[in-house]
Structure 1
Amino acid sequence: MKKEKLIIARKAKKISQNDIAIYLKISQTQYQKRESGKIKMTDLEWQRISNLLDVGVGEIYEEYIEQNTIDLKEEIQILREKINILEQKLA
């Protein structure tokens, strides 16, 4: 899940992904994966980024698992329905 609030705040302060990566002591690629939601950010990273951007954590923080959880629940339900259909065909 892309971190839209973070991206908006970062761009408003004219701070690059590379700037934040250097501040966090990680590569720009690793930071980009965090910002795009491919890697979960730690609470400490959220805090440090909010300090750098001079905003409260609540202004930039977005849940990581919210959308993934919904997608997984939907996928599980679809698979259960397919299993039921297959079981009925075999019976």
Structure 2
Amino acid sequence: MIKFKLLEARKRRKYTQEYMAAALYMDISNYSRRENGQIKINRKEWQRLAEVLTIPLEQIYESDDEGFLKDQTMDNHTFGNNSSQNISELQKSIEKLVLEMDKLKEEIHHLKSRNRY
């Protein structure tokens, strides 16, 4: 499962996967696999990611089993149910995707109409 919170936080900071990989002492392909959910991110890596991004861990953490934080405990940090926050973030992401789709549809329509003449 893609770690959307991590991905968005990294992009907001304008950090590359290469930068993040170096901060975690791994190569880019290993970092990419973690961000894409192909490899699990362990507790220490989650903590290091939060440090590098200078944000609280709960803003980027997503379990491997679910997209939402549900009473997960990591080390001495307990995270409550933040599903309303996650729903809000998902709605924002959906809105962005819908806008992008509309722009692409417009562009396709424009290109098709140009090719007709």
In the superposition, the TM-score normalised over structure 2's length comes to 0.56
Deviation, 1:3, is: 0.3
Q: Could you say what secondary structure the match of 1:2 adopts?
A: coil
Larger RCO (alpha carbons 8 Å, 6+ apart): 1
Q: TM-score, normalised by structure 1?
A: 0.71
1:9 equivalent in structure 2: 9
CA distance in 1, matches of 2:57, 2:33: 19
SS in 2 for 1:40: coil
Paired position in structure 2 for 1:22: 22
5+ long unaligned stretches in structure 1: 68-91
Please give the residue correspondences for 1:70-81 in structure 2 after superposition, counting only pairs within 5 Å. none
Post-superposition offset of 1:43 = 0.4
Q: Which residue of 2 aligns with 1:78?
A: none
Tell me the alpha carbon deviations over residues 7-52 of structure 1, each in whole angstroms, 9 at most, x when there is no partner. 0000000111110100111010000000000000010000001001
Deviation at 1:65, TM superposition (A): 2.0
Unpaired stretches in structure 2, ≥5 consecutive residues? 68-117
Q: Which is greater in Rg? A: 1
2:40 paired residue number: 40
SS of the aligned residue for 1:55 comes to coil
Q: Partners of 2:59 and 2:66 in 1: how far apart?
A: 17
Amino acid across the alignment from 1:50 = A
Q: What is the Cα deviation at residue 66 of structure 1?
A: 2.8
Structure 1: how far apart are the matches of 2:3 and 2:17?
12
